[in-house]
Structure 1
């Protein structure tokens, strides 16, 4: 049977009323690469209780988002929005419950940050600032396709999950994030770094959890994207 994967969605405004949002690229790309059935997880705490949701799924994917995680979630007093507190609530609960159940988790962009925060890590802001030598987000005013074509190189750490797929050396990834890891969460190891030392991929030491800071769903046929989905596919069994 095809695995059933829950995919985290975001809060949005839909014609003046609260809505739920997920770009279709996640659904089509994930379903194609993993030969899986997809169920959307709404960012509504009363409609997505972690225990009962995960009992029905074979794994979860935490997607990217235009929003950032609220700073209070990782002990900071201030941070750059926009925020999605309902998604924070649902996603962090899902991560901890999935870890307890040893259910596979794949994090993409914001998903990596959620995993890091759920496991006790902290975040930094401003990774797209103009004065950085390496900007992790395209300049303000860049259109959608242009944002996802913004890229930089990636240094794969030795002896990790990503290394087993890609080998040694530098590879190129898209980059579209303002937040990133400051201190690493408990039980996580670094799988890849940007040239400026920003964490670009992590994995849990003792659990089937893997996350990347870039967007593999934007170019599912690329070697790097196939490596990401292959890692998660093996976690699903």
Structure 2
């Protein structure tokens, strides 16, 4: 029993498909994601190849205690929310769509924890029946939320705008603040929230930045910014990853008791 309950919770980190040197295909995640999961959430990071040829939702649910839905350059294919693709929608990764969208719905139903980041935030909205704007900066009154094209990583991940939380929302309660500063590195954003998507925080231009799934039995916090950047040092990022880690530990402990009883 001790081997089931004393191990670190396993967090599946959603990978992205890349081609090294434009010819060698890999599944990869940013080191800052693994650092945040291991060093702040206190969990064991496991990179997930998001291709339905290799993994199934059922396997992932059994293997992992929680999931980090990472950012990524490819976008959710607009057919997932009933829209024809255009050049503005950018590149896609339909293999990731095929794995992650049903995974999110299964986690919501089971109460299995996930933390959504950037594309992951957008995936949660789409999985729950919402839609996306292909290019936020083209909407009237909106700012450019995209990553600065030049500069160092420190400059690209620098805090750029405030996010204001709804009073009494999960984020307000967790962080103890109604407004925080965040980075911003995204082109797309929520258009129509899914029926159970609760918008907990917005940027000054009204862009949704923090959400959770209404009446979900587990941890479903998701953010449009990138809290994994120096998560151990940032006063906003650290509590989010710590809370996610506690949720994964609670899931692991419950699974451990169930397995031990079988």
TM bin (shorter chain): over 0.9
Match of 2:56 in 1: 49
Please state how far the C-alpha of 1:102 moved relative to its aligned partner: 1.6
1:213 matches 2:224: yes
SS at 2:238 equivalent = helix
| Separation of aligned partners in 2, 1:42 and 1:235 | 23
Match of 2:259 in 1: none
SS at 2:210 equivalent = strand
Residue deviations 1:81-119, cap 9 Å, x none?
121111111111211222232211110110010010001
| Separation of aligned partners in 2, 1:228 and 1:161 | 10
| Separation of aligned partners in 1, 2:112 and 2:25 | 30
Deviates more, 1:182-191 or 1:131-140: 131-140
1:231 matches 2:250: no
Instruction: Tell me if the contact between 2:11 and 2:37 (Cα under 8 Å) persists in the aligned partners.
Output: no
Match of 1:13 in 2: 19
SS at 2:80 equivalent = helix
Q: Which structure has the bigger radius of gyration?
A: 2
| Separation of aligned partners in 2, 1:136 and 1:170 | 18
Within the candidate set 18, 42, 49, 1:35 is matched to 42
Structure with bigger strand share is 1
Q: In structure 2, do the counterparts of structure 1 residues 99 and 130 end up closer, same or farther at CA, with 3 Å as the change threshold?
A: closer
| Separation of aligned partners in 1, 2:202 and 2:82 | 24
Within the candidate set 153, 172, 184, 2:181 is matched to 172
Match of 2:205 in 1: 196
TM-score normalised by L of structure 2: 0.84
Please state how far the C-alpha of 1:230 moved relative to its aligned partner: 3.0
Question: How many pairs were matched up?
Answer: 237
Instruction: Tell me if the contact between 2:41 and 2:243 (Cα under 8 Å) persists in the aligned partners.
Output: no
Please state how far the C-alpha of 1:225 moved relative to its aligned partner: 0.3
Superposed structure 1 runs of 4+ greater than 3 Å apart: 128-133, 138-145
| Separation of aligned partners in 2, 1:128 and 1:147 | 17
Please state how far the C-alpha of 1:156 moved relative to its aligned partner: 1.0
Structure 1, unaligned stretches of length 5 or more? none
Instruction: Tell me if the contact between 1:138 and 1:150 (Cα under 8 Å) persists in the aligned partners.
Output: no
| Separation of aligned partners in 1, 2:238 and 2:159 | 19
Match of 1:4 in 2: 10
RMSD between aligned residues: 1.9
Aligned 1:121-136 pairs, distance under 5 A: 121-128=130-137, 133-136=142-145
Please state how far the C-alpha of 1:142 moved relative to its aligned partner: 4.8
Match of 1:222 in 2: 234
Instruction: Tell me if the contact between 1:137 and 1:147 (Cα under 8 Å) persists in the aligned partners.
Output: no
Deviates more, 1:182-191 or 1:124-133: 124-133
1:86 matches 2:95: yes
Residue deviations 1:185-207, cap 9 Å, x none?
13221111111111101011222
